[in-house]
Amino acid sequence: MKVAALSLPVILGFGFFPFGDNNGGELSGQGDRGKINRGLTRLSGQNHYFWLPNKRVPMKKHNFSAGPCILAPEVLQQASQAILNFDDLDLSLIEISHRSKNFVAVMEEAQALTRELLHVPEDYEVLFLQGGASLQFVMVPFNLMQLEGGKAAYLNTGSWASKALKEGVRLGEAVEVASSKDQNFNYIPKGFGIPEDADYFHFTSNNTIFGTSVREVPLTEVPVVCDMSSDIFSRQFPLTDYDLIYAGAQKIWGRLALLW
């Protein structure tokens, strides 16, 4: 199965300069190169802006690290309001019961949106858990590896895959079916076999540290487990090729220590 990545546009300030000048006027192209240059100079100052037709909008800083993502201003505003007064209850979202209808509605909407975006079939469950993706390094073998004679297969393609493998070894036989460690994880191994008696096969879809990603899910009859922390909503993929997907939500769509 080949996975086609969908590009996510990153909006930088200079990308909007052709649409307006410092006074909200229109720029027509080459004749306004000086205005564009002044705009670039303006960006070097303390206040940053990008230009849209007839308006000037403050430019949000972008965090390009492999950790927490930035959030849209609308999300931050709504979250701030929910902390102060959620649903006009005169209580904060973090002050109400997690069993209340107001809070349950938040969780149900989040699950519904996840199902819509990823085309999740009805026979799959969507869970939001604490602990981040790293906790699943041990929770996966805890839940999927047999207590007696347990065995799992791991593809080792980077730092996070190595940590997952390390936790699997603690609970049973964790077989490293292939690894790219010999070349500092700068490639994805091909042509490896997966033991038919393994309780599951685990791999990491995208390796931000080393710049590699798995484009084909290996064909196997054993359950497929994937850590998609850094690319889960960046592309479309047949979800039914996987039996379990987990992802640290703070990577590209949420707050710290949340797990999808």
User: Same domain for 70 and 151?
Assistant: no
The structure tokens 């102060």 sit at: 84
Give whichever of 18-27, 122-131, 191-200 has the largest mean pLDDT: 191-200
**Residue 243 reports pLDDT greater than 90:** yes
In this structure, what CATH number is given to the domain that contains residue 225?
A: 3.40.640.10
Catalytic residues: 160, 227, 251
Count of Cβ atoms closer than 10 Å to residue 81 Cβ: 13
Is residue 224 assigned to a domain?
A: yes
User: Same domain for 25 and 138?
Assistant: no
Is residue 29 assigned to a domain?
A: yes
Instruction: Give 117-142 pLDDT, tens digit per residue.
Output: 999 999 999 998 888 889 999 999 99
Q: Return d(Cα 18, Cα 182) in angstroms, integer.
A: 48
Encoded tokens for 255: 């707050």
Q: Return d(Cα 45, Cα 111) in angstroms, integer.
A: 42
Structural domain harbouring 49: 13-58
Encoded tokens for 20: 């307006």
Instruction: Give 67-95 pLDDT, tens digit per residue.
Output: 676 778 888 899 999 999 999 999 999 99
User: Same domain for 143 and 79?
Assistant: no
Q: Return d(Cα 155, Cα 232) in angstroms, integer.
A: 18
User: Same domain for 50 and 70?
Assistant: no
**Residue 50 reports pLDDT greater than 60:** no
- Identity of residue 256: L
Return the percentage of the chain with pLDDT > 70, whole number: 71
Tell me the pTM.
0.72
Is residue 119 assigned to a domain?
A: no
Residue 131 has a pLDDT of 83
